[in-house]
Structure 1
Amino acid sequence: MAPYIKTIEAFVKLGKYLTDFCDKCYSKSTQVDAEFKEIISKVGHHNGWFTEDNILFSLKQWGDLLTEENLKDWFSHYTFNKTSEPKTVGIVMAGNIPLVGFHDFLCVLLSGNKVLAKLSSNDKVLLPYLSKYLIQQEPSLADRIGFVEGKLENFDAVIATGSNNTGRYFEYYFGNKPNIIRKNRNSVAVLTGNETEEELKSLGEDIFRYYGLGCRNVSKIYVPKEYDFDALFKALYDYNEIIHQHKYANNYDYNKAVYLMSQFKILDNGFLVLKEDKGLSSPISVVFYSYYDDETSLRKELEALEEQIQCVVSSKSTGNEVKFGETQKPSLNDYADGVDTMEFLLQL
């Protein structure tokens, strides 16, 4: 079964719509789609973490990805020979960053299956709006896109994303169906002390984009002994305006106060706290750090933590490692947790 040609065309049109919309927003054009602009404003009022800047960033990334060239290149790695009836795939979506479940939504529809999405209460406006646009481009999609408010029922397979706690619930509830279940992951950066100022500034994008709420955000850095944190803080200063976002500022004030009262040794630049900690998952406004003796030993340590890590950022960018500033710009074949969603769907 080849990918639905009209479905592909609908997503390509959506990609152009998103790109044009973002370009007009960034240029302060008066020709911007007023309805979509109002939707974005509504989303921001409902969820204070979803600022206009972060929503537009997410929309722009999808606009850049949803081109005919990108989609054809992506499809070239798969064999679409499925002959059975389309399956209904339940998608339990997280709500930590805008449109975080869009890739799953895209995969299900382009694999020829049906979407039954349970949206997070934190992100329940954007996807239905984009779905409406897709259906306008290709009316047959109305029969293959559904949303559910309550209990997820009547599905053939499921893709569920949540915390480690909800992951255990998902395994119990969905274990008798074909499934992809994702739990907590974090991203880390490996610094050598030889990074350029530009690379360290780009690391700020990996740390601060979406206020650090995504699994692709860097929440932990590894540094050599005697590392000069002044260079890092200097490079990150361009992001100081983040402290004016009240939800972020509240987290910064709270976490800093807790660490000081507990007499933890911290480094602080007025909008970011660095704390030496073996953990990977740092609170909002905090990045953990650990020292390493040599890179070979560190790589082995990171391999042992593979199930907990989404991205490894470094200047070397070898293998699956990501360049500074690129964590929030995944390609179509950058699958969450390294599990090939499209291959899973084509085997149903």
Structure 2
Amino acid sequence: MVLNDRIIAFSELGKFLSQFKNTGYEKISDVKNNEDFFDGMIQKIVSAKNHNGWFTEENILFSLEQWSALLTKENLEKWLSPYNLDDVSKKTVGIIMAGNIPLVGFHDFISVVISGHKVIAKQSSNDNQLLPYLASYLISIQPKLKDYISFTDERIEGFDAIIATGSNNTARYFEHYFGNKPNIIRKNRNSVAVLTGNETKKQLAALGNDIFRYYGLGCRSVSKIMVPPNYDFDLFFKSIYEFNDIIKGAKYANNYDYNKAVYLMSSFKLLENGFLMLKEDASYSSPIATLFYETYSSKEELERKFELDKEQIQCIVSDQFSEESIDFGNTQSPSLSDYADNIDVIEFLTTIS
């Protein structure tokens, strides 16, 4: 099976996923094998929602929409064009996936399969409903992929390389067991926004998407903002008010109440608006329903800080803070070449011997 066969299979998957949107489900006549998979996909969306209380239908469909937009033949060819995949020798790559947001391990899965390797995927129990079904669709389009894709609930064995995503604690476990093989081992990361006080209400409302999408559980979710001294939070709170319905989710509300009680008992100073708490804190990883903030005095100071803390930061969101920073509202819409931890997975996969 050549690279173009794999690209076509994933582009057909993109067409299939394009039928499932927050605006509604629309069955498209020219989607291949649709009669066999359309209704089943609806059932899988419901199963994923029922299986994990953090996976709302809105967030599941948002994830599917992002992937359907990315999985076009043009996007896939552009993504892979810098790499020499013709001489890749088929190896077995294990992927240990996180389960914090829907299909969080899908990029690793695509990278391994499309580069010509066999994947053994060990999914988190929190996110194990959708990917096997999408894999079945891929195999229906390109039956040879059956020899490239497998899933396991047990410890991964017989692999040539490993990609593992987890917490700082689990990373030590991964390094102990997998350190003698080619590997990518990811730890905790969070995203941060830089505010100057000159942002418009529209920009701050867009930042709300970066904060609240997936309840802030993704590594690309903004968990901290950097603000100048004496920053006026009134416009910030007014701009994000449109997200106030998030507190209607029972799990989010329980976390809000619990964390607020902990902060108040500890006499921490808080700013809050009924669905989000702001706490001054030097850390990057804030609890659910909490956004940390820290003040800065100059751009140069921030640049030094971010350089020192780069192993903790996934994305920097701003209005042109740097060439690498992301515009407000775009953290949850990465391109295929936006790699977690800034580690080029395709490049890694071409070096396995």
Q: TM-score category by the smaller chain?
A: over 0.9
Name which of structure 1's ranges 25-34 and 45-54 shifts more when overlaid on structure 2: 25-34
**Structure 2 residue 347 is matched with structure 1 residue 347:** no
Structure 1 residues 83 and 56: CA distance shift in structure 2, 3 A: closer
Is the contact made by 2:314 and 2:341 (CA closer than 8 Å) also made in structure 1?
Answer: yes
Report the AA paired with residue 147 of structure 1.
F
Q: 2:91 touches 2:118 (CA, 8 Å); kept in 1? A: yes
Checking the alignment, whether the CA contact within 8 Å between 1:276 and 1:288 is kept in structure 2 is yes
* Cα distance, 1:285 vs structure 2: 0.4
Q: Which residue of 1 aligns with 2:172?
A: 168
> TM-score under structure 1 normalisation?
0.96
- The one-letter code of the counterpart of 2:325 is E
Deviation at 1:102, TM superposition (A): 0.4
CA change 1:83–1:344 in 2 (3 A) is closer
Once the 2 structures are TM-superposed, how far is the Cα of residue 145 of structure 1 from its aligned partner?
A: 0.1
Q: In the alignment, is the contact (CA less than 8 A) between 2:19 and 2:25 conserved in 1?
A: no
Corresponding residue for residue 285 of structure 2: 281
- Identify the residue that residue 5 of structure 2 maps to in structure 1: 6
Report the counterpart of residue 44 of structure 1 in structure 2: 49
Q: Is the Cα contact below 8 Å between 1:317 and 1:323 reproduced in 2?
A: no
- Please give the root-mean-square deviation of Cα atoms over the aligned residues, in Å: 1.4
2:23 to 13, 21, 26: 26
Distance 1:344 1:50 in 2: 31
Secondary structure in 1 matching 2:19: helix
Deviations 1:236-287 (A, max 9, x none): 1000000000000000000011111111100000000000001100000000
Are 2:215 and 1:208 aligned?
no
TM-score (norm 2): 0.95
Confirm whether residue 121 of structure 1 aligns to residue 125 of structure 2.
Answer: yes
1:275 & 1:43 partners in 2: Cα distance? 33
1:255 aligned residue (251, 255, 259): 259
State how far apart, in whole Å, the 2-side matches of 1:279 and 1:135 are: 44
**Which residue matches 2:31?**
none
Query: Aligned equivalents of 1:226 and 1:270: distance in 2?
Result: 22
Who is 1:65 aligned against?
Answer: 70
What are the equivalent positions in structure 2 for 1:318-333 lying under 5 Å apart?
318-333=322-337
Is residue 2:79 matched to residue 1:74?
Answer: yes
Look up the equivalent residue of 1:17 and give its one-letter code.
Answer: F
| Offset at residue 94 of structure 1 (A) | 0.2
Matched, 1:304 2:308: yes
Kept in 1, the 8 Å contact 2:118–2:149? The answer is yes
Gaps of 5+ in 2: 29-33
Q: CA deviation at 1:76?
A: 1.4
- Using the TM superposition, give the Cα deviation of residue 27 of structure 1 relative to its aligned residue in structure 2, in angstroms: 3.5
Please state how far the C-alpha of 1:300 moved relative to its aligned partner.
1.1
